[in-house]
Amino acid sequence: MPLIKARDGSPLHYAVHDHTDRWRQASTIILVHGFARSGEFWFNMVPYLSRFFRVVCVDLRGLGKSAPLPDPKTVTIDAYIDDLLAVADHANAETFHLVGESIGGAITLSFSGHHPDRVRTLSVIAPAIFANDWIRSTYAVGYPTWEGAIRDLGVEGWTRKSNTLARFPKEIGPAFLEWYAKEVGKADLEVVCAMVNFAATVDARPLLSKITAPVLALYPDGGDIATKEQSSILTNSIADARVTYLQSPYQMLGLLHPAACGEQIRNFAALKDGFVARE
């Protein structure tokens, strides 16, 4: 899978999943993951998309195979936007459908505001448009600060402690929670701490009115991070935006409900491309 260089020389990895008919010119969908994760976390949604679209799963800088990151201080919205441009250009995607989950939602919303000419549709899953006080205090898990908690507990330890606060239901089962904690725990501590500072201050609101692509927003019903306040801001600020609430209060809608999310995103993108995504 391609490993390229960002504008500042940092490594950028992406994986391509393409099960489309070879005689059809399929559009590209670029998937952008959330906090401390990687492109691998799209594993259970990709099958719902890759039969009809060429799917590109990005590893954000410093995470997954986009590592090591020489300077974690480069974890900024400007760098993320430049990185997505670099991946799209290398993947020969002049225009593309864009999908972001959680903090990846803020990144993709910002990208779509900066580069509206590149985005065919934007789908966001439980998007964190801006950080609220609940995120900062709850993810500190009893420590004075969110970053301090991660530094003391380590990435895996912090993930274990915070897993059922908003991401997942407690009854999901120990095997799933163990897998998730170990996968996230592979992330570099300094990169994750840099992402904390990014996530705690990111705010996509000033760019929402500049988005021209149709937007599909999938929200949890009663979530504490991707809240109904945020969904109202999104629909009131973007010219063509529609919101669907899934019957779950948990943040990790993509992992918990891959079929519901994948099918809605697939059909939304197919509508823009003028075909029905059905065998």
| pLDDT band at residue 216 using 50, 70 and 90 as cut-offs | very high
| Residue 205: both structure tokens together | 């609101």
Interval 213-217 mean pLDDT: 99
Decide: pTM greater than 0.85. Answer: yes
Helical residues (DSSP H) of the chain, grouped into ranges: 46-49, 77-90, 103-114, 133-138, 146-162, 174-184, 189-201, 228-237, 253-256, 258-273
The tally of CA atoms less than 13 A away on the side-chain side of residue 153 is 23
User: CA 244, CA 272: separation in Å to the nearest integer?
Assistant: 18
Residue 30: burial class (beta carbons within 10 Å; 0-12, 13-18, 19+): buried
Q: For a pLDDT cut of 90, what percent of the chain falls above it?
A: 98
Interval 155-161 mean pLDDT: 99
What are the two backbone dihedrals, phi and then psi, of residue 226, each rounded to the nearest 5 degrees?
-90, 90
Pairing of strands 11-17, 96-101: unpaired
Per-residue pLDDT at 1 exceeds 80: no
Q: Is 26 part of any domain?
A: yes
Indicate which CATH number applies to the domain containing 54.
3.40.50.1820
Let me know: does 212 contact 239? Beta carbons within 8 Å: yes
Interval 77-97 mean pLDDT: 99
Q: Is 236 part of any domain?
A: yes
Tokens 């950080």 belong to residue: 131
Count of domains observed in the chain? 1
Let me know: does 169 contact 191? Beta carbons within 8 Å: no
Per-residue pLDDT at 114 exceeds 80: yes
Interval 192-203 mean pLDDT: 96
Q: Is 10 part of any domain?
A: yes
Q: Is 139 part of any domain?
A: no
Provide the domain limits for residue 56. 4-130+204-273
Q: Is 54 part of any domain?
A: yes
Q: Is 135 part of any domain?
A: no
What tens digit of pLDDT does each residue of 24-60 get? 999 999 999 999 999 999 999 999 999 999 999 999 9
Q: Is 57 part of any domain?
A: yes
User: What integer pLDDT is reported at residue 194 of this predicted model?
Assistant: 99
* Helix, coil or strand: residue 237: helix
| pLDDT band at residue 82 using 50, 70 and 90 as cut-offs | very high
Q: Is 169 part of any domain?
A: no
